[in-house]
Structure 1
Amino acid sequence: MTRYLPLIFTGVLLNATAQLALKQGMRQIGHFDFTPASLFAMSWRIGTNGYVVLGLVCYVVSVGVWLLALSRVEVSFAYPMLSVGYIVTAVAAFYFFGEALTPLRIAGIAVIIAGVYMISRT
């Protein structure tokens, strides 16, 4: 099963990239209220933002990669590997967006790494 880790992690990285792209797109758009009056205008702005489109494309491709992975490995092995996405996203958000990476978050990342290691050894 470990021979499929590159496939699984490709899906994870695509998913993390999607999150980061969506965040950047929404940073460009800014805060908005979902009200009936602004629904069309905001939907148009969101749907035509390049980063949002990139994020959605990454999601679609990641689903395809995930389906390939699930056709090859047990879901009880593959699914916990998705938690690596939390690590990638937290670290990337720290570097790209200046989001906090507190000692408690770092400890959580360490726990995730330990868990992924244990699952990958089974």
Structure 2
Amino acid sequence: MNPISLFCILAGVTLNAGAQLLLKAGTNAVGHFEFTRANILPIAFRLATQPPIIGGLACYVISVGVWVIGLSRVDVSIAYPMLSLGYVVNAFAAWYLFGEVMSVQKLVGIGVILIGVVVLARS
């Protein structure tokens, strides 16, 4: 995998992970909600107008473009497993940004993911 291909794949992964974090920030701003017939439109409007949610959706759109470019250069059997790096990024970012718990079990899972990505990338 050449540097440009690697950049495209990692940029897609990063944008995808960033989108998830922005969506979480947007839902945190709205707070816990239940969809019922009475509140579906007001909640949908509040969600749709949250800047972090708009930013997250924009990240998704850009990530698809970058990802398509990456897929044109890299075998999908190599590129797709790289998406799992998003789990690693999000686990640490959620711990840092949102105060989510980082347990030993999560750290072991992250280690397994990283080993798997290295093995696949070297194949």
TM-score (normalizing by structure 1):
0.97
Measure, in 1, the Cα distance between the counterparts of 2:120 and 2:2. 10
Measure, in 2, the Cα distance between the counterparts of 1:67 and 1:35.
Answer: 37
Match of 1:32 in 2: 33
Per-residue deviation at 1:2?
A: 4.8
2:70 is matched with: 69
Letter in 1 for 2:102: L
Q: CA deviation at 1:33?
A: 0.8
Residue aligning to 1:46: 47
Question: Is 2:13 the counterpart of 1:12?
Answer: yes
Contact preservation (8 Å) 1:17, 1:55: yes
* Residue 100 (structure 1) shift: 0.7
Taking only aligned residues, the RMSD between alpha carbons, in angstroms, comes to 0.8
* 8 Å contact kept, 1:2–1:120: no
Q: Any gaps of 5 or more consecutive residues in structure 2?
A: none
Q: Deviations over 1:4-38 (max 9, x none)?
A: 22210100000000000000010010011111111
Percent pairwise identity: 50
- For residues 12 and 118 of structure 2, the distance between their equivalents in structure 1, rounded to whole angstroms, comes to 18
**Map 1:81-96 → 2, pairs under 5 A:** 81-96=82-97
Structure 1 gaps of 5+ residues are none
- The amino acid that maps onto 1:85 is G
TM-score (norm 2): 0.96
